[in-house]
Structure 1
Amino acid sequence: MVEPILDYDSFFEGAKNALLELDTLSTEEERLTLEGERIAKAIETEKKNTSDRIADTTSKRLKEITSTYDAEIKKAEEAKKTLEAKRGKAKNKKINERIEDETKDLRDHIAATKTEIKNEMKRDGIPNFCDTGVYYTLYFPHKFIDFINIILTVVVVFLAIPVAIYKMIPQHKPIYLPFIYFAIVLLVGGLYIIIGNLTKARHRDSLLKIRAMRDTIDNDGKRINLITKEINNDSADEKYDLSSYDLEIEDADAKLQAINEKRRVAVNEFENNTKKIIADEIMENSGERINNLNKELEINKQSLGNITGRRSEINLTISDKYESYLGRDFLRTDKIEALQKLIRDKDAANISDAIDLYQSKIGKK
């Protein structure tokens, strides 16, 4: 229930004091709100920095640990590869020695046969070019590959070469082709007959004998290739006496496995124990700062709560006690002082008269 005003000065002074206190409380409430936000942000920043320091430190320590082990592992792997390479070279040497030993008779037989061929050619006065694969393919063919080579030779000599010559003649005309073929047939055929008369016709028996010896060399070469292939495909290493290399490789492999195991143990120890210890140490260092900030924030919240409660109480008091008389537009100290002066100077008898008079003067202005 609104009571009548008996003392206007006390009423106006009370209203001004209430508004002044409300303004002071509102300012303080805003300051405490901003301060609380700053403290809360500082706490979050400190927590994030702590988390980042933990992550960076543990990552760096783990990298330092693993890099040391990885360097040793790389050295151990390189040492093992070096031993394996030495073993491979030793095995290849033993294989070559075995091939040389098991094919010695065949190679000696080939060498003796070649010597016999040279002696036969020298004794019978046969030209050196007769001891070639091309000669025997053209004059003494007896293998399937010889006939294939003869067909290819005919194609090249009597097709490819004439066409190539024809293409190289400026302003070539089809009439030139018969003359080109005639010239090639005459040249190649004549040369073939001349060589045959000088060699095959004169030394037929010796050349056939040499052909047989050449076949023997070819057969010996095939047997050498077969023996070489069988030896290379033989996976058994016992006959090469590589046990000393195997022991060294086993020892190097054991060292490599031991380092890998130590690395695994070190990483597990770090992940399960050391990492937590590092995190606890960093948390302990920043824990005091975070605790102080939390205490400061708690004090701020209490102060803000008190200020907010008091501001609300004053605001309601102003609404109940003064706003009902003055209205919201006159809840300002300058206007209240103006109304107070009008009543004090007897220009107005009460608040309503003072408000009307104030508004009329403002309107005239």
Structure 2
Amino acid sequence: MGQQTTDQIAFLIEARTALEELGVVKDREKQLKIDEIKVGKTLEVEKRTVEETINTTVRKRREAISSSYEAEMDKAEDKLKKARVKREKAKNQGMRERIAEETADLRDENRDVKEKIRTLFKQKHIPAYCNTSWYFALFFPRHFKEILMFLVTIFLCFLAIPYGAYMLVPKRQPLHLVGIYFLAVLIFGGIYVLLMNRTKVRHMETLKEARVMRDHIRANRKKIHVITRTIQRDKNEKMYDLEKYDDEISRLEQEIQNIAAQKQEALNSFEQVTKTIISDEILSGAKPRIDELAASYRDIRQSITETEAEIKEKNLEVTSKYAGYLGKEYMDPMKIGELMEIIRSGRAANISEAMEAAKAPKAQQ
């Protein structure tokens, strides 16, 4: 009986030891997996930091190259803009001189005609106000502008001014408006008739002659306008001596193209050569730390693989040796210890009885 008890306890001790060893291995596996996550994250952060450092450095270097060339291009473009402005000014000056030259005869003729009209009016003792556009619009309207001036005068004298005066009268009454209009007709109409009798009727032939001369001036002005528009629309710029400006503009345009080509070449060289050098320099500085973390990560992964294999082996061993006899319920070191205590205390002679004894208090409860 004593030998049997000893064997039973030895069996339980072996089972408990095997389960405790299995637990230790599982705990080690848990810790290894925690370490794997920790080291893996650290490694990932290091790699990401290196990548961001490379990207930031490359971007700044690329921007520095671009900004350097763009500054030169801005200077050249500013010079080009000024050169084009100078050319435009020179062209406009040339056009003005050409217009002045080609319309000189017409302008001189108009000046002579105006002087002739003034001389004629002096000889005939005609007032100077008769040689105005407004006078001819009132007494000899012929063209659209003069007719419009005539209508505006009628509007002002016989509508705007009388109505404005009426609005200034306190306690206005319709009779006041009638009186104001009567005065307006009397005053402005009287002035018109007076001027007509003193000038138009008295100097009709001279004024008609002046009318013809003013029409001639107007015709010349139309010719001047046509010549001006023709010159402004003329695409031929050879007569303006713009070659030096065109040469300067061409030189600056070529300079801008050269700078753009140099910029592109520098950027291509940067992308193909310098970028790799920068990347290698940063990577070489971070390589020891990354290699260390990578090696540690590999070691942990290897340990996890080995531990998983060990757990599998011990699980199979425990299952084959002890699970069939103890059952799943008692595959626990503490419960096995409880069974051992029951056997040692004499309450059970074997493991099966110990299991029954262990269940008994629970059943009673």
**TM-score grouping bracket, smaller chain normalisation:** 0.7 to 0.9
1:98 aligns with 2:77: no
Which shows bigger deviation, 113-122 or 161-170?
161-170
CA shift for structure 1 position 186: 1.8
In structure 2, give the amino acid aligned to 1:295.
Answer: A
In structure 1, give the amino acid aligned to 2:330.
Answer: F
The 1:334–1:245 alpha-carbon spacing in structure 2 relative to 1, beyond 3 Å, is closer
Aligned counterparts, 1:1-365, within 5 A: 7-143=7-143, 145-165=145-165, 169=169, 172-174=172-174, 178-360=178-360
* Contact kept? 1:137, 1:149, Cα under 8 Å: yes
Which whole-Å CA distance do the structure 1 matches of 2:92 and 2:182 have between them? Answer: 57
CA shift for structure 1 position 167: 5.3
Which whole-Å CA distance do the structure 1 matches of 2:364 and 2:114 have between them? Answer: 143
Which shows bigger deviation, 104-113 or 132-141?
104-113
**Where in structure 2 are there 5+ consecutive unaligned residues?**
none
Q: Deviations over 1:91-130 (max 9, x none)?
A: 2222222222222233233333333333333333322211
Which shows bigger deviation, 140-149 or 44-53?
140-149
Q: Deviations over 1:39-74 (max 9, x none)?
A: 222332233223222222222111111111111111
Q: Deviations over 1:174-229 (max 9, x none)?
A: 55554444332222221111111222233333333333332332233222222222
In structure 2, give the amino acid aligned to 1:356.
Answer: E
In structure 2, give the amino acid aligned to 1:122.
Answer: K
Alignment length, in residue pairs? 362
Which whole-Å CA distance do the structure 1 matches of 2:324 and 2:116 have between them? Answer: 143
CA shift for structure 1 position 245: 1.7
CA shift for structure 1 position 173: 5.0
Which shows bigger deviation, 165-174 or 266-275?
165-174
CA shift for structure 1 position 12: 2.5
In structure 2, give the amino acid aligned to 1:14.
Answer: E
CA shift for structure 1 position 257: 1.2
In structure 2, give the amino acid aligned to 1:24.
Answer: V
The 1:256–1:361 alpha-carbon spacing in structure 2 relative to 1, beyond 3 Å, is closer
The 1:150–1:12 alpha-carbon spacing in structure 2 relative to 1, beyond 3 Å, is same
CA shift for structure 1 position 7: 1.3
CA shift for structure 1 position 352: 2.5
What secondary structure, in the 3-state scheme, does the structure 2 residue paired with 1:199 have?
helix
* Contact kept? 1:80, 1:253, Cα under 8 Å: yes
In structure 2, give the amino acid aligned to 1:127.
Answer: P
Which whole-Å CA distance do the structure 1 matches of 2:52 and 2:120 have between them? Answer: 93
CA shift for structure 1 position 151: 4.3
Which whole-Å CA distance do the structure 2 matches of 1:150 and 1:334 have between them? Answer: 125
What secondary structure, in the 3-state scheme, does the structure 2 residue paired with 1:343 have?
helix
What secondary structure, in the 3-state scheme, does the structure 2 residue paired with 1:348 have?
coil
What secondary structure, in the 3-state scheme, does the structure 2 residue paired with 1:125 have?
coil
The sequence identity of aligned pairs, in percent, is 36
Measured on the aligned residues, the alpha-carbon RMSD in Å equals 2.8
CA shift for structure 1 position 232: 1.7
* Contact kept? 1:342, 1:348, Cα under 8 Å: yes
Which whole-Å CA distance do the structure 2 matches of 1:103 and 1:269 have between them? Answer: 61
TM normalised by structure 2 equals: 0.87
Which shows bigger deviation, 70-79 or 242-251?
242-251
CA shift for structure 1 position 300: 1.4
What secondary structure, in the 3-state scheme, does the structure 1 residue paired with 2:126 have?
coil
Which whole-Å CA distance do the structure 2 matches of 1:361 and 1:212 have between them? Answer: 143
* Contact kept? 1:25, 1:307, Cα under 8 Å: yes
* Contact kept? 1:5, 1:11, Cα under 8 Å: no
Which whole-Å CA distance do the structure 2 matches of 1:346 and 1:333 have between them? Answer: 20
TM normalised by structure 1 equals: 0.87
Which whole-Å CA distance do the structure 2 matches of 1:162 and 1:313 have between them? Answer: 122
